[in-house]
Structure formats: C-alpha cells, structure tokens
Amino acid sequence: MKILSGAQMARLDRLSIRRHGIPARLLMRNAARACCDELLALRDSKQFRRAAIVCGPGNNGGDGFAIASLLRRRIGEVRIFFLGDEASLSEEARHYHGRVKDLILPDRAMPAALRRADLVVDALFGIGLKRPVTGRYAKAIAAMNRAPGYKLAVDIPSGISADTGEAMGTAFRADLTVTFEAPKWGQILPPAWDYVGRLAVRPIGLSRAELKRMPSAAEWVDAGYVRRHWRPRSRGAHKGDAGRVLVVAGSREMPGAGYLSGLSALRAGAGLVTWALLEEAYRRIDLRFSEVILSPAPSEGGKFSAASAGALRPKL
C-alpha cells in the first residue's frame, strides 16, 4: 500500500472530484461510514452510550458532522462542538452540518460533555494543517486528551503534521485513527506513534487510477499486502522448497544483529537460513534456535577479514 504525503492526498482528492466526477458529498459520507464501521467492529463497541464529537472549520469537521448523523442512530447521546463558522464551510460540509445542527452545543458545555463521554471523536483538523495549533483549538485538544473515553481521530490526529509526524504545538492522542485510501508519512513516522494509536486504512471511493499513478517512495506492509503475496506451501514441501537466506552480520562484541536477522528469516518462512559469523563470535555464541546453520568466517580484530569474502562466495 503506497505511503503518500499530505499534498499528494489533497491532489488525489481533487482529481477524483474534478476529473472523475466523484461527488464530494459521497466521499464525505463514505469517510464517515468507514469511521463508524471501524468503531462498531471493536469488541467493546457496545459500551458506547455517549459520544462527544469536536468538529473544525474544514472538511475534517464535515466528516465529523457526517459521523454524528450516523452515530445518532446507534448511540443514545451524541453531542457536537463546532469550532468554526458555518458560512465558511464547503458545500458538502454544510450539508451534513445542517443534518445535525440540533446536536451542536456551545463551547462552554464541552468540558462536562467530554467528562461524560465514553467515545471522543476528533474531527478538528485533517492533513492540511500547516501551522501550530493555538488558542481555542489547543484548549479543545487538551480537553479531549483529558477525557476518559475511547478516542477516535478522523484521518489524522489533530495537530500532527501529515508529512513529518511532528506535533505542531499540541496534538490529539488517539486510540484509533481511521485514515482514507492510503497511509500518510506523518502517521507512520516515530514522532506520531504516541498519537496515532491503531491505524486503520479504509477506501472511500477515490479514483483508483489516480492513486495508481501517484509516485511513492515506500510501501506500507499490512495484512492485506501479506495476503496478496503469500504463497501457501503444499503439505509435502520440505525446507529446500522454501527459499534460502544467507545472513552476514555481527561483530565479536555485538553478534546480536546476525542472531536477530537469522531469527527473522526463519519467522518469515525461509527454509534454509545460514548465518555467516566471525570465527571469534562462533566460539562464544549461545544459539537458541537450532534451525540456523552456522558458518564461521575468517576474522581479524573482531571484524570480518578480507579472506572472508572468498570463504562466503560459494554460499551466495
């Protein structure tokens, strides 16, 4: 699955609507349905009785309105806090705003509603955020983070850069982030790990042709990717049928890299794994998995020597 930048995702959205005629309102509804499906699939989803949804001034807020329109049929109490101006909403966001206008409460009611809520939905800012979060928005995020309920981020936790994963001033800490069509760099880089929670990537109907044309420097390996590339073994297969791996790694003082690499190769399904390690390390290694074949290589000063290249060549 391709990993995209915030600008690429915005372009994909724009091309899907303008070039391929996919209605923006339909995409917003699909995004809301994807979020609700992920929530209701949770093992303890029946515990949700009170939801507090904080919506921002852009289309991320529109997603929040659409989520509220779906959740009100499943949850006893849904409360919305809108930190924006109705007049500045896009046409599709205004449509869903109108459907849940009766659920919107004034900001002063937010602290009490968040304390009562067992589900908190962050629909404040999406992947287009470019500047630090301050003022009433920062206060709202801090209040959401203090809330005891389960926390859902729509597309990306508010305050997280879609490109770097850095928290811009402050950021929402989610238990679950539902993002659309493709993961963003800012969701999988280490700075964001404490904010994203579990990441679910869901399709919402954007153009597959445009997504396929999008360049990407890396792929996100998820369960679906593994299933597409996994080839089940026949019952009569033996280790010689399952591929061979040669691990050349480790020094005298730090042989652990080779040890872990060999174990990883075994767990990935390789049939024959050979670990070429220093002669000095070979005499000291405490091997805990007997399937790996050890191949001592010439060493000098605790490192592989020039002669090790000739010794390893027949194993390649």
Q: What is the pLDDT of residue 69?
A: 97
Q: What is the pLDDT of residues 13-39, one digit of tens each?
A: 999 999 999 999 999 999 999 999 999
Q: What is the pLDDT of residues 57-92, one digit of tens each?
A: 999 999 999 999 999 988 889 999 999 999 999 999
Q: What is the pLDDT of residues 133-190, one digit of tens each?
A: 999 999 999 999 999 999 999 999 999 999 999 999 999 999 999 999 999 999 999 9
Q: Which amino acid is at 13?
A: D
Q: What is the pLDDT of residue 288?
A: 65
* pLDDT exceeds cutoff 80 at 214: yes
Report how far residue 54's alpha carbon sits from residue 137's, in angstroms, rounded to the nearest whole number: 10
- pLDDT > 70 fraction of the chain, expressed in percent and rounded: 97
**Non-local CB neighbours of 303 within 8 Å, separated by 6+ positions:** 251, 252, 278
Q: What is the pLDDT of residue 15?
A: 97
Report how far residue 312's alpha carbon sits from residue 307's, in angstroms, rounded to the nearest whole number: 9
Exposure on the CB side of residue 41, measured as CA atoms within 13 A: 9
Q: What is the pLDDT of residue 138?
A: 97
234: which 2 tokens?
């026949």
78: which 2 tokens?
């849904």
Q: What is the pLDDT of residue 283?
A: 66
- Strands, E assignment, the chain: 50-55, 77-82, 119-123, 150-154, 176-180, 198-202, 244-248, 272-278, 293-297, 299-300, 303-304
**pTM for this entry:** 0.82
Report how far residue 73's alpha carbon sits from residue 55's, in angstroms, rounded to the nearest whole number: 19
By the 8 A CB rule, do 265 and 273 touch? yes
* pLDDT exceeds cutoff 80 at 199: yes
| 114-124 average pLDDT score | 97
Report how far residue 227's alpha carbon sits from residue 236's, in angstroms, rounded to the nearest whole number: 21
* pLDDT exceeds cutoff 80 at 94: yes
3-class secondary structure, 7: helix
Domains, the chain, ordered by start: 6-225 (3.40.50.10260), 239-315 (no CATH)
Q: What is the pLDDT of residues 271-313, one digit of tens each?
A: 999 988 887 777 666 666 677 777 777 777 777 777 787 777 7
Q: Which helix (H) or strand (E) holds 18?
A: helix 6-18
Burial class (CB in 10 A: 0-12, 13-18, 19+), 140: buried
